[in-house]
Structures are given as structure tokens and as C-alpha cells.
Amino acid sequence: MTCRTIGEEQSPSLDQPKDVVNDALKSTNQELLRAGQVLSASEIRINQIKSYRARKADLTDLPFIANQPIISQLLQQLVATRSP
């Protein structure tokens, strides 16, 4: 924000609304870029899942699934129920 001194007082410059709009635009653009990155990563994962399903492969072989704590717990429970 730019301020101009008038005597002892400061008043906002005429550039202030423009600065606010530019800051909002920059912030919105950063959010858009981040959302685009999240979308791309999600599309990659969806395509991997579709590929594994088409091949009837085990989805737990995908790292982003295998690394989920609940998956590890469920696999351990499955092994325990299958043990004699």
C-alpha cells in the first residue's frame, strides 16, 4: 500500500485500490495453479486405478493406496484371519 504524507497526516494514494485488486488477482492465480496441480495429480491416480482394474491387478500394489495406514491394518487383519 502506498501512502502519501500530507502535513502530519497520511492519506492513501490513488494506487491503493489498484494494489488491492492486483494482490487479490495474484492470490487467486496462485490458488488456481495449486488447484490445477491437484487436479493433474488426481487424474493420474484415477488413470492408474482404471488401468489396474482393467488388468484385474491388486490395487494395493499402487503406492498411494499401499501407503495408507488403514490399508496396512486391513491387510494385517486379512492375513491374521487366514492363518491357522
Q: pLDDT by residue (tens digit) across 2-54?
A: 555 555 556 556 667 778 889 999 999 999 999 999 999 999 999 999 999 99
Strand partners, 10: 5
The domain ranges of the chain are 3-82
Give the side-chain half-sphere CA count within 13 A for 36: 6
pTM of structure: 0.65
3-state secondary structure of 83: coil
Please work out, in degrees rounded to the nearest 5, the angle formed at the alpha carbon of residue 23 by the alpha carbons of 4 and 37.
165
Cα–Cα dist 3/10, whole Å: 6
Instruction: Quote the CA–CA distance of 43 and 36 in Å, as a whole number.
Output: 10
